[in-house]
Amino acid sequence: MTAVVRIPLHCSAEQHERLLSLQAEFSRACNVVSQLARNNRCWNRVALHHLSYRLVRQTFPNLGSQMACNAIYSVCRACRWAYQHPESPLKLPAEPTAPLALIIFLPTAPVYFDRHTLNIAQGELSMYTLDGRIHFKLAISPEHQQRFINEKLKEVALTQAPQSFELVFWFDSEQPSASAAARPPTALDLEPNSLAVGPLISQPPYIETQRIPA
């Protein structure tokens, strides 16, 4: 069972702009990787890393090495659903040489973090941006504090909330959290003609798809 914890970020105007810049650069990097994944029919994380990492680092030097890895991960998880999930409208065609739809990440796509780019200690959050780390004071409920202590953290993503941003944490849990039950992980404020890959997987990126003619 996966438990979902959402923590809103109360950003200053400067912090908000820095997060927007990170989100836009992250989505651009995802689109470079997505082209390679589709062209090479490759969405194994290790193989796609070898295929795309150097190009991402050269094209987006400000993104940093770890965020480049996270962009590759984001593309892998989107491709797995889009091309392999039985309920996806973009499943792999029966003909092995038939062209695949291209996954296009919108500027509002979530940004995935890891322990190198985000950490929480003593009620303070530190997270990576293109212009250095920013810090937030967090008010975490006792229930959520126990999750951070006792449960395995699976994923962390920065997503756009109606007024600002929020962080979404996914934990391995035997019982669903109240927040997960109250607000299932579905896409919010989608762009016209976009396809949200979900809620069949946890928090999906916001993507568009483009059919490639044979």
Tell me the pLDDT tens digit for each residue of 49-86.
999 999 999 999 999 999 999 999 999 999 998 888 88
In percent, the amount of the chain with pLDDT more than 90 equals: 40
Integer Cα distance of 3 and 118 in angstroms: 19
Instruction: Give me the residue label for tokens 């797995």.
Output: 80
Backbone phi and psi for residue 107, each to the nearest 5 degrees, phi listed first: -60, -15
The answer to whether 117 and 128 have CB atoms below 8 angstroms apart is: yes
pLDDT category, 174, cuts 50, 70, 90? low
Lowest mean pLDDT among 30-34, 42-46, 158-162: 158-162
Q: What number of other Cβ atoms are within 10 A of residue 96's Cβ?
A: 7
- Domain encompassing residue 14: 2-210
- From the list 171, 191, 189, 192, the residue with the least C-alpha distance to 180 is 171
- From the list 182, 184, 204, the residue with the least C-alpha distance to 195 is 204
The answer to whether 100 and 38 have CB atoms below 8 angstroms apart is: yes
> Looking at the 3D structure of the chain, how many domains does it have?
1
* Mean pLDDT calculated for residue range 169-185: 52
**pTM of this prediction?**
0.79
Integer Cα distance of 1 and 123 in angstroms: 26
Report whether pLDDT(27) > 90.
Answer: yes
The 10s digit of each residue's pLDDT in 117-173 is 998 877 788 999 999 999 988 777 777 777 777 778 888 999 987 778 999 988 876
Strand partners, 206: 196
pLDDT score of 46: 96
